[in-house]
Amino acid sequence: MVNVAQYQSVINGFINKNVQLVAVSKLQPKESIILLYQNSQKDFGENYVQELLEKQQQLPADIRWHFIGHLQSNKVKYIAPFIYLIQGVDSEKLLTEINKQALKHNRKINCLLQVHIAEEETKFGFSPAEAKVLLHKIIDNPSLYSNIIICGLMGMASLTDDTAKIRGEFRALAGMFHQFKKIFPSFNTLSMGMTADYEMAIEEGSNMVRIGSLLFGQRKS
């Protein structure tokens, strides 16, 4: 069950810092979301489309739903009418589909590009080099994804106890973010940090953290 005192203490730690908390509510009951909502939390992160659709239909309409993690192209159409921010766009194919669905619904959808900064071989995310090529392509052709707002970058550090390594990965992503912020007008969000490493992520310049188990306890998976 959600721990409201823990939530308050996390939020209090963000006072005077420019950091937004996305409460990661995947596999958590609606009652827990409502409790945080009553404590002014408006941003929630989910990463299963079916679960997100059910929650979105049943919970307050002003919740800002974030899709975190890998999204299959064929599922974009279900979330396109309402999704607030798609965190973790990891291919051009997905970007193309999001743009198409956004057009259909006559809206612009906020997206972050997922960059894999961790050393381990992950399936998802652009390499830093690929992300740079893509961003330059969009800068050169601003109408390419006319119904997408690329708000910034998202990344996940390695699963390791080696804090120096984690810090280095966050620093590298922050460096890339600041480099592109200068030439990419819509860049304002650097999403990095989860329960285990969010404090370090903020020290390295994150302005959006995605925290689940610290607030809600362990997920039933």
When the beta carbons of 32 and 138 are compared against ligand PLP, the nearer one is 32
The CB-of-187 to ligand PLP minimum distance in angstroms stands at: 20
Beta carbon nearer to ligand PLP, 109 or 211: 211
Report the residue number whose CB is nearest to ligand PLP.
212
CB of 21 to ligand PLP, least distance (A): 11
How many helical (H) and strand (E) elements, i.e. helices and strands, does the chain have? 9, 8
Which residues does 162 contact at the CB level (< 8 Å), separation at least 6? none
Q: In 28-126, which residue ranges form alpha helices assigned H by DSSP?
A: 30-38, 49-58, 76-79, 92-104
Whose Cβ is closer to ligand PLP: residue 28's or residue 56's?
28
- Can you give the binding site for ligand PLP, defined by CB under 6 A? 24, 26, 47, 68-69, 194-196, 210-214
Of residues 3 and 147, the one with the C-beta less far from ligand PLP: 3
Query: In angstroms, what is the minimal distance from the CB of 124 to ligand PLP?
Result: 10
For residues 35 and 127, what is the distance between their CA atoms, to the nearest angstrom?
A: 38
| For ligand PLP, the closer CB: 25 or 99 | 25
Q: Any idea what DSSP says for residue 70?
A: -
Place of tokens 């006319």: 146
54 and 34 Cβ atoms separated by less than 8 Å: no
What minimum distance in Å lies between the beta carbon of 96 and ligand PLP?
22
Q: What are phi and psi of 55, to 5 degrees?
A: -65, -40
Asked whether the beta carbons of 192 and 173 are under 8 A apart, the reply is yes
- Tell me how far apart the alpha carbons of residues 128 and 72 are, in angstroms, rounded to a whole number: 21
CB of residue 90 to ligand PLP, shortest distance in Å? 11
Joined together, the tokens standing for residue 90 give 């990891």
CB of 116 to ligand PLP, least distance (A): 12
Instruction: Quote the Cα angle for 60-62-63, to 5°.
Output: 75
User: By three-state DSSP, how is residue 202 classified?
Assistant: helix
* Nearer to ligand PLP among residue 138 and residue 216 (C-beta): 216
